[in-house]
Chains A and B, each alone.
Chain A
């Protein structure tokens, strides 16, 4: 019987291929406005296109290492420019398996005050049992849930700009009575642990494909496959994850 590749180094490499292909098919058109300014600054100062050529020997990375960002094509919204950005965290190897992995996605859009606001989600691997804890983990499967925090540094795109190293949650923490205050209260009702929506993925590669499918739909997954001939030729568990998304096409 073939050994599972799920969460192994081969699976991790295929996940990078998904994310690298997402970068390749993404439209780099400047969205203009405050959002365009942020994106331009981000590209000029921070963007490391590591996902296009990350050395194999550098994998897997430590959890919370900064890989640089992915800037995706704008989402199709009428009269509104919404740009998804993403980062990836990969946990250490335990045996020959990646212990945990998370792909954080934020949707950036302009506000009327020429600043940018963001909503965030975290696509992540199943939670692991904690030693000594009797209750099983709530989400032992790949899932996605909304996030309020985005504790990446030294800086990020999320509004408002903040001190280097300070937590940024995409909301203005000083805005108790205004727009962000209300947004923060509303967000708190659904965060941080529930709901966590199960993903149709049993592999890291499948999880990354779910990110693309969630943002753009299945046509983007097919576009992505067109430019990644290795992914087109996957078999086994990764193929099953892929087919769950594109089976009807």
Chain B
């Protein structure tokens, strides 16, 4: 039976969650079905998750169905960050009752952790955790250690470029995954995951030449500084990104946790620094001689090889391409240590465009603004296009 994947949207405000659901439904246009949980359903589902946690069991091994099943069946779960209703909202009741019947006093990030570690949900996102309006994080590190797969404002919910469906140009942080593809990607990786396999070896990152390039903080997050043989099981139990102490879950869900942990580690703590892996746009920016029809700006933005799985094998630097890491990230990446040296006397030219992190687009240097991010290592300088209607924070980063 072919089932349409489900997006579950959760908020403390009955009216708003319905509006959010309608907007997501419109942009997905049938590619996924949308369920907007009303606040009381949501509170019951979270209560069921807490029971699962207390019993040390997750859904697949639980004897009885529970209210958290809605998360098990979801391809994408989107959670509002602040789950305390506003006094002006239609559903406002006494604080005592709201704590009993709703999730007043709770945070979406905490629920995201429960969803990730106790259910079979696909991708998990948090809405409005840092900003309620469309805002680009110039530090590029704000969510580095957070649990969800994506953090957005409510203005981003119906952005076609968030979901990876057809849409016009504009705002699309390069850090955003193609959300519509992410559940299948996580499921495939979890199905293939052997929890006792070493992470670095499985990702083809265990050569000493590569290990020497890691920065200490990158290794420390997963305990790889102490044990380079860290397995997916150990990664799933890592303090910073995985299960918390005393938490238990089932083996199938532990695989999802492991995949999520390693994926977030790669995407947020390894890939941005460009010391171990580099993705297609940044590879092109640093090595413009790899770009066919280099003098044509449209050609830079027309490549189909930015994302994993669109073409079988990328056409450039194939010896350095890392298929295992690419599959996990959903975007093609290359091992930096194995990239071929620049051809003699090939230079970056004044006419070569730069990649903008806020629009995921190459533009002429004169149309871009550079800024200093907090990304570890020397490649902290990045560019933005300054998309209309987008806030940039912290603004001081744009002074230079």
A residues neighboring B (CB under 8 Å): 21, 24-25, 52-57, 223, 225-230, 232-235, 239, 249
Contact = CB atoms under 8 A, between A and B. Distances in A.
A89 B381 CA distance: 25
A230 B365 contact: yes
Contact of B370 (A24, A57, A229, A249): A229
A126 to B, nearest CB: 26
B378 A25 contact: yes
Given A56-B399, A223-B378, 9 more contacts: A21-B381, A53-B397, A55-B399, A55-B400, A57-B399, A227-B380, A232-B347, A232-B352, A239-B350
Contacts of A56: 399-400
Given A52-B372, A249-B345, A229 B285 contact: yes
Interface string B363-378: 0010000101000001
Nearest to A236: B350
A24 B348 CA distance: 20
Contacts of B344: 249
B92 interface: no
A235 B350 contact: yes
A239 B400 CA distance: 21
B400 A227 contact: no
Given A229-B354, A229-B383, A54 B400 contact: yes
Contacts of A233: 348-352, 354, 365
A54 B351 CA distance: 27
Nearest to A246: B347
Interface residues of B, number: 22
A239 B348 CA distance: 11
A53 B372 contact: yes
A239 B352 CA distance: 14
Contacts of A24: 378, 380-381
Contacts of B93: none
B286 interface: yes
B130 interface: no
Candidate in A225, A227, A233 with the most chain B CB atoms within 10 angstroms: A233
B379 A232 contact: no
B285 A21 contact: no
A229 B285 CA distance: 8
B381 A229 contact: yes
B58 to A, nearest CB: 44
B378 A227 contact: yes
Contacts of A225: 348
Contacts of B372: 52-53
Contacts of A54: 400
Contacts of A227: 378-381
Contacts of A52: 372
7 contacts: A25-B378, A227-B378, A229-B381, A229-B383, A232-B348, A233-B354, A249-B344
B399 A53 contact: yes
Closest 7 CB pairs of A and B: A232-B348, A235-B350, A24-B378, A227-B378, A233-B350, A25-B378, A55-B399
A57 B400 CA distance: 9
Nearest to B355: A229
A215 B3 CA distance: 64
A148 B352 CA distance: 44
B374 to A, nearest CB: 11
Interface string B15-55: 00000000000000000000000000000000000000000
Contacts of A25: 378
A234 B350 contact: yes
Contacts of B380: 24, 227
Nearest to B370: A230
B350 A228 contact: no
A235 B383 CA distance: 19
A96 B345 CA distance: 34
A232 B347 CA distance: 8
Contacts of A235: 350
Contact of B286 (A21, A53, A226, A234): A226
A21 B378 contact: yes
Contacts of A21: 378, 381
A55 B396 CA distance: 9
A1 B286 CA distance: 31
Nearest to A225: B348
A229 B379 CA distance: 10
A199 B94 CA distance: 77
Contacts of A53: 372, 397, 399-400
Nearest to A232: B348
Contacts of A228: 381
A235 B365 CA distance: 12
A229 B383 CA distance: 9
A226 B274 CA distance: 11
B254 to A, nearest CB: 38
Interface in B276-309: 285-286
B394 to A, nearest CB: 11
B285 to A, nearest CB: 6
Candidate in A56, A225, A226 with the most chain B CB atoms within 10 angstroms: A226
Candidate in A24, A223, A229, A239 with the most chain B CB atoms within 10 angstroms: A229
Contacts of A239: 350
A219 to B, nearest CB: 12
Contacts of B381: 21, 24, 227-230
Nearest to A227: B378
Interface string B326-337: 000000000000
Candidate in A52, A55, A227 with the most chain B CB atoms within 10 angstroms: A227
